[in-house]
Structures are given as C-alpha cells and as structure tokens.
Amino acid sequence: MSMKTTVIKYYFIVLIAAFMLSSCKKVINLDLGNVSGELVIEGNFTNVSGPQYVVLSRNVPFTSTNVYPPVTGATVTIADNRGNQYQLTEGPAGTYSINPAFGFGSRTYTLTVTTGGKTYTASSTMPGTVPLDSISAKPNYFNAGSGEKVITVHFQDTPGIPNQYRFVMYVNKVQVKSIFAYDDEFIDGKYVNLDLEQNDTKIYAKDTVTVEMQCIDKPIYTYWFTLSQQQANNPGGQVAPANPPTNITPTTLGYFSAHTTQTVTLVVK
C-alpha cells in the first residue's frame, strides 16, 4: 500500500462500509471534537521483503484544508519478541523507513516513537497468511443496465482460528476510499465469496483493479471497522479529529499494524 495514502485521509471521507452481516455488529460511537495538532502515527510492518514505513504527522482543525504537517527528527524503532530490532531512518520529512525488512507470522512487533520529549509504543501480532485465491467482477445489480461492476474476493477461511481481514482496492492505480474490514465470526472455516461494495469509484469493463488482502490482528480490525462505521457520519473532505480505538500508548491518533499482505490484479471484462 502506498504510504501517500495515509490514515488521515480515511478520516475525511463519506462512505457506506460494505460489511458482511454487519447487522449483527455493535456500532462504536465516537465523540467528535475540534482537536488539532495531535501526533498521528501510521505504522505498517508486513511479511513482504522491502521497505517498511512509519509516517508521523499532526492533525489539523475540522474546518481546515487537508494539509498535515510532518513530524521530523523523531527516533523510530521496531522490535520483535525474538530480540531483533530495526532502526528506521527519516526521508522524506515525516516518513521513517527501513529497507529491506520483513516480518513473520505469529511474532509480535513493537513500535517505539520518541518525539517532542515523549515516547509512544504500540504492539501488533502478525497473523498467519490466509491465501487470497482470486478476484472477479460481476454486474452491479443495484444499478442494473449501467455497465458498472462489483468486485468479489475469493478465499478459504482457516477453520477454528479467529481471523480478521482488511482489503484495499485500487482502480486504475487509484486507491478506492472505502474501508473494507471483516472478521470471520460468521464465515469460520468456509469458502468465502465476498463482494467489496463501494460507492465512491465506479468500475467498468477494461478497468484494471488490484486488491490487497491484509490478515490483521484483532486490535487493528477494531480500529479499521470502527473507523469505517464513523465515516458514514463525517462531512465529506473534512477532518474528523476523533480516533478509533488505537493500540498506541499513550493514546494518540493512528495505529501500528503488523500484518501479512498479498495482491491480485484483474482486468475487468
């Protein structure tokens, strides 16, 4: 996933979350305020060898334009429960990375960020990989005759193990703004054909669609699912300064996710 598309952007978009059987889920309500200037941490550590990134910035007022000042000069490290530690370097401003590096399933990774005389930590356990078999396209039955398509992901959920998933979709190399976060409460051990329904980007024949499948731990699932629910209440293009339940201590905006990732690309017919 490109780091240019940060968690902040997710705060400002109107969407209806496409959540399978979500009527059985409890919606977590957040008290939105007009807080600004808080530290925002977006950290990802994956199982794919390559650059691993942590992005630091400050949030802006609810009525401000979407310009997020980078946080520079921080000390950023990632360590695992096997004693390995990675020191990240800054460049460009506010983006900290190490290359190459990769993680392993079942290991717990801890992010430490020191900035402004304060230290923040977050831990995330990387799940095992659930293979993404394929993706397909079918007519959008809610807009019959338009030629619009809906993307379906196909995979086998691992039985007897709690699994949580996040999907990220790109249409012609542009990321769809909708957030797709699911658990396997009702699909445990089943072969899954899951429609990624969204309203902000129309998909037609000859479009190129790429779907990234992330296997995420429970706290990160809670973060993305809660955020998807709250976005339906936010004004389009404006900042929602509240944060979903985060795994960062002391509490600040953002998250740190250790997850597996895989992508499949389809040219729509």
The kind and range of the H/E element at 39 are strand 39-46
Instruction: Output the pLDDT for position 206.
Output: 98
CA 250 – CA 256 distance, rounded (Å)? 13
What average pLDDT does the structure give for the chain? 86
Q: What is the mean pLDDT of residues 208-234?
A: 89
CA 255 – CA 44 distance, rounded (Å)? 8
Q: What is the mean pLDDT of residues 52-79?
A: 88
**pLDDT tens-digit readout, 84-109:** 999 999 999 999 999 999 999 999 99
Instruction: Output the pLDDT for position 244.
Output: 87
193: tokens are: 């054909």
Produce one character per residue of 202-232: b if its CB has 16 or more CB atoms within 10 Å, e if not: ebeeebebbbbbbbbbebbbbbbbbbbbbbe
Instruction: Output the pLDDT for position 61.
Output: 72
Is the CB of residue 167 less than 8 Å from the CB of residue 183?
Answer: no
Instruction: Output the pLDDT for position 145.
Output: 83
CA 102 – CA 116 distance, rounded (Å)? 29
Longest dimension (CA), the chain: 59
Q: What is the mean pLDDT of residues 226-249?
A: 67
Is the CB of residue 119 less than 8 Å from the CB of residue 60?
Answer: no
